[in-house]
Amino acid sequence: MFSTLVAATLVALVSADGIPDFVVPGKCAKVANQDKFDLRKIIDNAYQPFTRCIHSNYDYSDSDYGFKVTTAGFSPSNEYLRMQGKIYPTKDFPAAHMLIDFPTVFAAPYEVIETDYDSYSCVYSCIEMSGYKAEFGFVFSRTPQTSGPANDKCASVFRKNGVDFSSFSDVAHTAECVYRA
C-alpha cells in the first residue's frame, strides 16, 4: 500500500510540475536505527519544515503511542508559519523507525539513527522508487545553534551510515527568531 501511494504521488508530481529538485537518481542509505529506542524520551526535539528560526513542540500521547507535533518558523518570504502533524511508529517498524505525517505531504519514513535524548538526535528520511530517491537528514538539538556538538555528532553518524552530510543545509537561528510554536 505504501509503495503504491509513493508511486502515485511521484507520478502526480512528475505530471504536474516535473520532478522536484530534491528527487535525485540513487538509492536510499541502509541506516541502522537507534538500539533500545525509547519513544517517550525524544519529546521536545525540533523538525525542519521551514527555512529559519525553526522550532517544534512534541506532545507525546500514550493512547496514540506517538507525537502530535506543532512546528513553526519563518518561510523564505519572511512569513511566520505554523504547521501541525504527527510522528508515530507503526506495527511494521520498530519504535526508532516511525512515520512523519503532516497534512501538506504524504507520510514518510522518520528513522532515528542515534540520540542521547538530552542534546541531539540524528534523523534520516528517504523514499526510493524506480532508481530515484527523495532523501532528507535532520540534526535536532535542544538549542538553536546550528554548529556544535549535535552537528558534529550527527555528521559522524550520517557519514558512518552512508549519508552525504556535505549536502545538508544549516537552518538560520538569529536574534530575530521568536520561538513560540
Q: Which CATH number is 154's domain given?
A: 2.40.128.20
Residues 47-81: b if buried by 16+ CB within 10 A, e if exposed: bbbbebbbbbbbebeeeeebbebbbbbbeeeeeee
Q: How far apart are CA 152 and CA 166, in angstroms?
A: 12
pLDDT, tens digit, for every residue of 59-118? 887 777 788 888 888 877 888 888 888 888 887 777 788 888 888 777 888 899 999 998
* Short-list 91, 90, 93, CA closest to 101: 90
pLDDT, tens digit, for every residue of 16-60? 456 667 778 888 888 888 787 765 554 433 334 467 888 888 888
Our count of domains for the chain comes to 1
What's the residue count for the chain? Answer: 181
**Mean pLDDT of all residues in 4-24:** 51
pLDDT at 168 over 70: yes
For residue 8, being part of any structural domain is answered with no
For residue 96, being part of any structural domain is answered with yes
pLDDT, tens digit, for every residue of 109-136? 889 999 999 888 999 988 888 888 888 8
Q: What is the pLDDT of residue 159?
A: 93
For residue 16, being part of any structural domain is answered with no
For residue 181, being part of any structural domain is answered with no
For residue 68, being part of any structural domain is answered with yes
CB atoms within 10 A of CB 152: 12
What's the mean pLDDT when you consider all of the chain?
Answer: 76
pLDDT, tens digit, for every residue of 125-166? 888 888 888 888 888 888 776 677 888 899 999 999 999 888
For residue 99, being part of any structural domain is answered with yes
For residue 126, being part of any structural domain is answered with yes
Beta strand spans in 62-161 (E): 66-74, 80-89, 97-101, 108-115, 120-129, 132-141
**Can you give the residue range of the structural domain that contains 54?**
23-167
Q: What is the pLDDT of residue 61?
A: 79
For residue 14, being part of any structural domain is answered with no
